[in-house]
Amino acid sequence: MDAVSPALRPRRSCLAVPGSSTKMMEKAQGLPADQVFLDLEDAVAPGAKEGARKNIVAALNTGDWTGKTRVVRVNDLTTKWTYRDVIEVVEGAGANLDCVMLPKVQSAEQVHWLDVLLTQIETTMGFEVGRIGIEAQIENAIGLINAKDIAFASDRIETVIFGPADFLASIQMRTTVVGGLISEYPGDPYHHILMSILLAARAKGVQAIDGPFLQIRDVDAFREVAGRSAALGFDGKWVLHPGQVDAANEVYSPRQEDYDWAELVLDAYAHYTSPEGGLLGAAMIGDEMIDEASRKMALVIAAKGRAAGMARTKKFEPPPD
Ligand code: GLV
Ligand code: MG
């Protein structure tokens, strides 16, 4: 399996929208986010949750979400709300919903629970069984320890997501700026956490998504934090404000020079491994040696660039005989 399945939808920017706000759900439809998730969890007060379910069903059924992955975040399984969240939203708008996001996931069993419930609802409603995906949000120590089992718990899993605010509370990291570096710590305090989530996601062949950055007016700081998870290989990040959307789309798209390199390697490698190119396993482009592993790296970058609608600016010319 390639590192990132090109079949998966791009999720460079995943816009969080409270299900209690019909106005924000309307506005979200006009923003260039790859994904929108309508929230029933922490952005909605306990007393507003039942009304929010109804708002979300209406928004999914009547809104124009063209080009966006449509996700609903339900409440986590330690609450009383989860089963009704899933039943009301999926029965009411399952045909217009791509994924259910399960926050604070602790174990594979919790994912199984959601998988079975979705299958029962899809069967009852006459929806295609298995079409609705699951996004698993890792937000505590036990969830991270079980991240691999969570990623492998169901073929519905499409993403493994980092939930930094809850996670920092869970492990008691000493900071109040979610995602920011910590002056007393001589390194990146998120490296292990992000890498563990990335490895769990990639082992299963699904996407890895970084969580929110709460200083929403500081777009430069957002870019810096996003740039770190993008550099590791993450596919996208949550956005909480329209000002963060373009930045996320840019940061999680390949750089132009990397995209050009990828397309060039794919063309060059196809040429050199063909009879016309000499059936070579390894070849040179300029000063760089390329082989099958270079092709695999290039495939990942090319898939992301194509999904982002990028255009190449360099063409491969086979050398004259
Ligand atoms: C998101 O849910 C977070 O806790 O950061
Ligand atoms: Mg959270």
Domain range summary for the chain, segments of one domain joined by + = 13-251, 256-307
Residue-level pLDDT at 304: 92
Residue-level pLDDT at 3: 43
- Considering only CA atoms, which residue is closest to atom 1 of ligand 1? 163
User: Own/partner pairs for 290-294, CB < 8 Å, 24+ apart?
Assistant: 290/265, 294/265, 294/269
Residue-level pLDDT at 321: 72
User: What's the CA-to-centroid distance between 271 and ligand 2, angstroms?
Assistant: 49
Instruction: Specify the CATH architecture of the domain 13-251.
Output: Alpha-Beta Barrel (3.20)
Q: Using CA atoms, how far apart are residues 113 and 69, in angstroms rounded to an integer?
A: 23
Task: Select from 75, 33, 74, 35 the least CA-distant residue to 207.
Answer: 35
Question: For 96, which DSSP code?
Answer: G
Rounded mean pLDDT for each run of 10 residues along the chain, 321 residues in total: 54 98 98 98 98 98 97 98 98 98 98 98 98 98 98 98 97 92 94 98 97 97 98 97 97 96 96 95 93 96 92 91 72
User: What's the CA-to-centroid distance between 171 and ligand 2, angstroms?
Assistant: 13
Which is it for strands 288-290 and 133-138: parallel, antiparallel or unpaired? unpaired
- What is the secondary structure of 12-71 as a DSSP string? SEEEEEETT-HHHHHHHTTS--SEEEEESSTTS-GGGHHHHHHHHHHHHHHS--TTSEEE
Place of tokens 């059924």: 61
Q: Using CA atoms, how far apart are residues 213 and 244, in angstroms rounded to an integer?
A: 9
Looking at the CA of 179, which ligand is closest?
A: 1
Residue-level pLDDT at 9: 87
The minimum-distance atom of ligand 1 relative to the CA of 169 is 4
User: What's the CA-to-centroid distance between 155 and ligand 2, angstroms?
Assistant: 23
- Considering only CA atoms, which residue is closest to atom 3 of ligand 1? 163
Q: Give the predicted TM-score (pTM) of the model.
A: 0.94
